[in-house]
Amino acid sequence: MASASFRLRSLRDRNGWTVADMAERTGIPKRSLDNYMLLSGASLPGFEALCLLSKGLGVSLDWLVFGSEGATPGVELIVERASNAASLVCFEAIVRYFHAKNGAIVSGDRLLNLVPEDWASIVADKAKAEASKMIADGVTLQELLEWRNKNRERSHELFVDMVSELLPDVKLPSNLASQKARTAN
């Protein structure tokens, strides 16, 4: 696992910063930053310094302390839940438009008169807002795991219903059918 020292050096090099640039961004003295970035025997920044580094350099505390390993599973679950909420908004708009029968839903490369890039931008904006809200609210890993389990159960139910409706003569495998029966009770 790479060290905080390595991550700071990598960040500096990737952005073309000097230690003086980093000192200006963070308010941490150059000498301290040099000590944090030594190839061997680097000093470990304290909590306050880590906070200043995170804020000043625009990286998360998780990344500074743990690297990419710090992103799982909480961050991935926040992204999954935020993406789900954002996608839902778009699909609800499509369904409302369809039920209102306001003309063709698809015309050329447009869906509801928006190109795919517009839809992607809408989803990204909504996902960002949803993720920011979850982070600001202090969502816990337990809450995220409960949401994922509930969401997976619902997705499974919808899949089984769709297969049953589209292929009524197909006998579902016993594990799918028994899960459907359990959720119906």
Rounded (5°) CA angle 54-59-64: 70
Between 31 and 172, the more confident residue is 31
Torsion region of 131: left, alpha or beta (phi above 0 gives left; psi -120 to 50 gives alpha):
alpha
Q: Do residue 117 and residue 158 come from a single domain?
A: no
Domain count, the chain: 3
Burial of 134 per CB tally in 10 Å (0-12, 13-18, 19+): buried
Q: Do residue 152 and residue 95 come from a single domain?
A: no
Q: What is the pTM assigned to this prediction? A: 0.50
Q: Do residue 121 and residue 169 come from a single domain?
A: no
Distance (Å, whole) CA 172 – CA 77: 30
Q: Do residue 99 and residue 122 come from a single domain?
A: yes
Q: Do residue 76 and residue 133 come from a single domain?
A: yes
What crossing angle do the helices spanning 74-100 and 116-137 adopt, rounded to 10°?
A: 130
Residue 182's pLDDT is 46
Q: 37: which DSSP letter?
A: T
Distance (Å, whole) CA 115 – CA 132: 26
Between 6 and 184, the more confident residue is 6
Q: Do residue 87 and residue 107 come from a single domain?
A: yes
- Indicate the average pLDDT of the chain: 80
Instruction: Check pLDDT > 50 for residue 127.
Output: yes
Residue 185's pLDDT is 44
Domain holding 172, by residue range, is 140-185
